[in-house]
Amino acid sequence: MDLVERFINYTKFDTQSAEDQPTVPSTQKQLVFAKYLKKELESEGLQDVEMDDKGYIYATLPSNCGKKDVPTIGFISHYDTSPDASGANIKARIVKHYDGGDITLSPGIVSSPTKFPELKNHVGEDLIVTDGTTLLGADDKAGIAEIVQAMVWLREHPEVKHGDIRVAFNPDEEIGMGAHHFNVEKFGCQWAYTMDGGDVGELEYENFNAAGAKVHIKGVSVHTGYAKGKMVNASRLACEFQSMIPETDLPETTEGYQGFYHLLSINSRCEEADMSYIIRDHDRKRFDDRKCFMQSIARQMNEKYGEGTVTVELRDQYFNMKEKIDAQMHVIDLVLKAMQKVGVTPKVQPIRGGTDGAQLSFKGLPCPNIFAGGVNFHGPFEFVSIQSMQKAMQVVIKICEMTAGYND
């Protein structure tokens, strides 16, 4: 099985995760794929293959270099797909030698470089696309395929020396839970890489600090004919709360290192309202200031409408892995050299989001993020270049090879 065949086969499994579910993984259909993947790893000759009761898979490609002081490194990808778009009945197809024009995914559904200029970076390449009704799942099944294919290649080429290589695949990354039950001690690596980045060359070791905010508003429902001086309309207060968020600090008005507040949902009626936000910033102080700002809005509204009218519950989700990676920059230097050796121009940039690697870095496993090749994640216009996937696989192989000489 080659890289492309492996990836397309993976996309046939519906592994969509789900918010606000108490189980791990959040959807049982993820386990269907996990069991398949475990068997595949066994059939491809990896050792110590195991899957725990939560669907976390671990395996080893044993060292072939006979050196005891070679670092054990790891590669990690998640197998769930985003709740933002359907992951069922994915119909992946290959557009050979993309010519730079519009791609008709299905009648009336067109992926155009006018709307998605990233397409222009892949003229002449072979693109895997959807039919425009589902996401593709390159986030992150492309990463899984690249890691597995790299391990197969190394097994078939014993002349390329490497130390012990650990691989791991997990559920529920898309809902921020992927690293929560990851067993770092069992994984047993000195450092690792998530293969979960975007377009070719991307290398990320800075990500947002992240928190979630739940805003609850208590209203007073009174017949509208007799409401004067009595009614407190929670729906209207929810609008007022949102109006106090600066328009300059929204996802749609920020980029790069700029943080934001993002209103995910409002569920409201006159008597009560619930709002869900995410808060993001790369800088820890600004991040803390943003959380304080949310509380200050509640205080202002309580002064106006009465104590207890508005409450804000904050929960930290993950932090900027740069805090942990800065002290171990050899982990980054190795990737930069590996990319250059296989002809990839590195694009070091901050993540306007998070990865499992961020949480794992704070668990003691330095874990930056390498490109997997996908573009336009979480929607029906997602695509991945076959050539980008091949480059990602080559980067994995080169990292393994270079690590064998790390202590020379």
- State the catalytic residues: 80, 173
Of the residues 291, 317, 343, the one at which a domain ends? 317
Same domain membership, residue 187 and residue 230: no
Mean pLDDT, to the nearest integer, of 292-308? 97
Rounded CA-CA distance 372/202 in Å is 9
Is the per-residue pLDDT at 407 higher than 70?
no
Same domain membership, residue 280 and residue 363: no
Rounded CA-CA distance 282/209 in Å is 6
Q: Are 152 and 18 in contact (CB under 8 A)?
A: no
Same domain membership, residue 272 and residue 233: yes
Q: Are 16 and 27 in contact (CB under 8 A)?
A: yes
Rounded CA-CA distance 332/174 in Å is 24
Residue among 91, 95, 96 at smallest CA distance from 104: 95
Q: Are 393 and 153 in contact (CB under 8 A)?
A: yes
What is the domain-level CATH number for residue 267? Answer: 3.30.70.360
What is the domain-level CATH number for residue 349? Answer: 3.40.630.10
Residue 408: inside a domain, yes or no? no
Is the per-residue pLDDT at 405 higher than 90?
no
User: Which tokens go with 317?
Assistant: 């989700």
Q: How many domains does the chain have?
A: 2
Task: Quote the domain boundaries for residue 352.
Answer: 3-206+320-403
Rounded CA-CA distance 333/369 in Å is 13
pLDDT digits (tens, 9 = 90+) for 208-222: 999 999 999 999 999
Looking from the CA of 400 toward its CB, the CA atoms found within 13 Å total 32
Of the residues 317, 339, 359, the one at which a domain ends? 317
Same domain membership, residue 235 and residue 163: no
Of the residues 294, 317, 340, the one at which a domain ends? 317
Same domain membership, residue 243 and residue 355: no
pLDDT digits (tens, 9 = 90+) for 22-33: 999 999 999 999
pLDDT digits (tens, 9 = 90+) for 227-263: 999 999 999 999 999 999 999 999 999 999 999 999 9
Looking from the CA of 210 toward its CB, the CA atoms found within 13 Å total 20
pTM of the model: 0.87
Residue among 357, 406, 389 at smallest CA distance from 69: 406
Q: Is the dihedral of CA 64, 45, 49, 78 positive or negative?
A: positive
The DSSP element (H or E) to which 129 belongs, if any, is strand 127-129
Q: Are 165 and 154 in contact (CB under 8 A)?
A: yes
User: Which tokens go with 218?
Assistant: 């208590």
Same domain membership, residue 59 and residue 153: yes
Same domain membership, residue 329 and residue 313: no
